[in-house]
Amino acid sequence: LSQYYTAGRHLLKHRKSSGDARFSAFQLTARFLYRELPVRIGQTIGGLKHNPSPYNIRQMQPFQQLMDSYADDFSLLVDRTPAPDTPKANAEFVDALRKLKGRCRVNMWVLSQALRELSSAINGHDPRIVPEFLLPDAAEHRRAAADRRAPLHYYSSTLAYPDLSAPMAYLAPSGKMEMTDPAKWSQLSGPPAADAPAPAPAASATAVSYQWAPNKVCSEFCDEASCRNPRLWPGDNTLQCAENQTRRFFDWLYSMNLGTQLLVEDHVAIHDYGHNLVQIIQPLEIANRAAHDARVICQRHYGFAAPAIKVIAPTPSVTTTYVPHYLYSMLFQLLKNALRATIEHHQADAARRAQMPVVKLVMSSGDEDVTFKVSDEGGGIPLSQVDAIWSYLKTTMDPASVASSAKNGALSSITFMNRASDTPLFGAGDGLPMTRQIARYFGGDLDLVSMEGVGTDAYLHLSRSRNAVEHTSDLSTLLHSSESDISGLASDA
């Protein structure tokens, strides 16, 4: 962020210069973007093409539309736009960025719509999209087959739930300490029963047959919340693995889109509007605006006054370097959720509805972070549903009804701050998963602590480090971790 801010201020200083002085100031940034953007778009195409998730997303029209759109973006930059080595070529390059800016907004909306259709296909057990080994009949067979297998002789000092990515030491039957191999975590972890069906023929001479089942050990440092919560996936870890692999893929895909959009919008904003996106801001001002807009949208949806939002800031004048509209969108999302939970938990009781508890928004500043806590008394979240709030495949609105509000969904990130109160209360965004991904992309994080029957506390951390790097997984690592899980599957159904 500090590099964005410094580069932006330098370009703004020379924006009103004429002739060669202006061109020289913008040329270095333009050359970087001319090389960097095709790489990012190409990686996005590659991720969609190879599809690390177990679902057949390439069979779905929205994902096909996304791939076609990215391919056209790539062609626009590589085949139809000259390198910005002259003032005229640089003007053509900026025109291409203006086109990409609009397409980035549309692509993000199409991706949201695609996720809703994927969720609908999974819930409907569509055999074109859901592989056979994840259909309900296969789940019953997996549970029966697991009961017939010989017990494993792996021992762990931690919980015996599956680790999806991190290698760990375990005591092998030989008595020696060995390390698990994440690349082979889906290999059969026990001999098949005598009456188990034979595996399907390999697709090629070098292919190996796998069953999509994790190791029965869990690393102490595993970062999967669901690995530490056995109540979420009773009796069948395969669905858990499919969900987590899908979430990792869309985390990566959203990060790639976020980075591309920020590069494009920042350069265009400096050229056309005379300001850069990364600014030194007072977070409290943005928090107050998000709180006001969240109450407006909540009141319009329910038809009566929304609960009050009490903003508490021991150090109100604190500043930090951030992108204002991204901070606004994250706080807006958290406050909408808190207000909705509070109203729906209390509105059934007339007495409680008359005096609903306030939602508290606390801002605290430290040496490393600026942290927001959004606290509500909306009844909380059951333990069995905690992990589901981070899923991209859970939606509260039908895909058809979402499509009808596409006009609002395609708002630019900056315009969203001015028109957020015109959007639906829920179901029109990707909610908490996307909010957490934005926070992580800029070096922060989002955590939730919930007490069922009482309420939920959300903690949004903004990193104050001026040296935080872009938080995006490497595509080759993502594909390698899922290669053996998906490409060599042999159904156990």
- Give dist(CA 468, CA 444) in Å, integer: 9
Q: Coil, strand or helix: which one is 327?
A: helix
Beta-bridged to residue 450, according to DSSP, are 456
DSSP single-letter state for residue 193 = P
Residue 429: per-residue pLDDT = 46
- Give dist(CA 168, CA 44) in Å, integer: 31
Q: Coil, strand or helix: which one is 194?
A: coil
The closest alpha carbon to 473, from 67, 119, 165, belongs to 165
Give, for 396, the enclosing helix (H) or strand (E): none
- Give dist(CA 75, CA 391) in Å, integer: 33
- Give dist(CA 433, CA 169) in Å, integer: 31
Residue 196: per-residue pLDDT = 47
Residue 281: per-residue pLDDT = 93
- The dihedrals phi and psi of 276, each to the nearest 5 degrees, come to -100, 160
Pair type for strands 369-376 and 320-322: unpaired
- Could you report the average pLDDT of every consecutive run of 10 residues in the chain (493 residues)? 72 69 80 94 92 90 94 96 92 95 90 90 92 78 54 35 44 53 42 48 37 34 42 56 86 92 91 87 96 93 91 94 93 95 83 82 94 96 86 64 45 52 54 92 94 96 80 69 46 40
- Give dist(CA 372, CA 312) in Å, integer: 10
Cα 88 to Cα 20, 24, 155, 210, 273, distances in angstroms: 11, 13, 67, 56, 20
Pair type for strands 169-171 and 445-451: unpaired
| Residue given tokens 């494993």 in the structure block | 152
Residue 132: per-residue pLDDT = 84
